[in-house]
Amino acid sequence: MRYGLLCANVGSYSDARYVSELAADAEAAGWEGLWIWDHLAFVWGMPSADPWVVLTACAMRTSKILLGTGITPVPRRRVQNLAHEITTLDRLSGGRVVLGAGLGGNSGEFERFGESFSRPRRVELFDRGLETLRRWFDGEEVDGVRLNPLPEGRVPIWIGANSPEMLERAARYDGWFANSAGKDDMTMTPDEVAAGAAAVGRAEIVVHGYSRVASPADYAAAGATWWLENLNDVYGAPEELHRLVRDGPPT
């Protein structure tokens, strides 16, 4: 099992300078990746930061750890802009970007801007967007357009959500980003993760959670290939969680 961090992009973690410092400390302590939420938290009055800008700040302070989103709601992004952002960051970071991709689960982040939250619409945009991204990243032409330049590496795509239809998509792409924890507790058991892993197959199986309330080893035994330690203001004060990061992965 590999160990990384999943940071909020709201509250204390809406400061890109602070998260980049956290990323530098994480790399020094032996964590292998940092992922960040992709929420428009200002919609409900909270401070929030653009995840790609935050990850760019992290890239400038690190040289090894993977950097990604957990997770980007592809249906509320223009695919051409998303491809541009990912490619730019991947080249800047030396091929370290991972795209966590999902449907988007907060209705306000769509409807407050005049967009439908209809699930069929989101599924259609998700599938079309991911197919376009994969083809562009692989150097193909889509509707007369090629991405230029290409990402430095092959950008992995991890699919977030637990429904059977999304697990099927995870099997087609590069990994499953399990919806395994809430703001301060686990929402999936190791047995449930094992069932999802069996459906997905040999792709990456990514679990996020809290090592103070659950054993990462139990999830590794269930088939998880990554454990992401959650960092958010609900679970603990930033200073407390920063110490946890400096202490290194819970191995």
pLDDT tens, 204-216?
A: 999 999 999 999 9
181: domain CATH number is: 3.20.20.30
Domain hosting residue 59, numbered range: 2-246
DSSP one-letter code for 202: S
Query: What is the overall mean pLDDT for the chain?
Result: 97
In a domain, 138, yes or no: yes
CA 248 to CA 181: how far, in whole Å? 20
Does 251 reside within a domain?
no
Residue range 110-164, pLDDT digits in tens: 999 999 999 999 999 999 999 999 999 999 999 999 999 999 989 999 999 999 9
Distance, CA of 85 to CA of 171 (rounded, Å): 25
CA separation for the pair 58, 26 (Å, rounded): 11
How far is CA 247 from each of CA 7, 35, 186, 218, 241, rounded to the nearest angstrom?
16, 18, 22, 21, 10
Chain centroid to Cα 106, Å, comes to: 16
Least Cα distance to 95 among 27, 19, 154 occurs for: 154
Q: Report the pLDDT value the prediction gives residue 160, as an integer from 0 to 100.
A: 97
Give the burial string for 214-248 (b: 16+ CB within 10 Å, else e).
bebeebbebbbbbbbbbbbeebbebeebbebbeee
Is residue 24 in some structural domain? yes
First to last CA, the chain: 9
Q: How many separate domains does the chain show?
A: 1
Question: CB–CB of 54/9 below 8 Å?
Answer: yes
Amino acid identity of 175? G
pLDDT tens digit string along 192-207? 999 999 999 988 999 9
- Tell me what percent of the residues of the chain surpass a pLDDT of 90: 98
Tokens of 103: 């449907």
Report the sign of the C-alpha dihedral through residues 72, 74, 80, 83, in that order: positive
**pLDDT for position 122:** 98
Closest CA relative to residue 219, chosen from 237, 183, 195, 245: 195
Coil, strand, or helix at residue 157?
A: strand
Any domain includes 153: yes
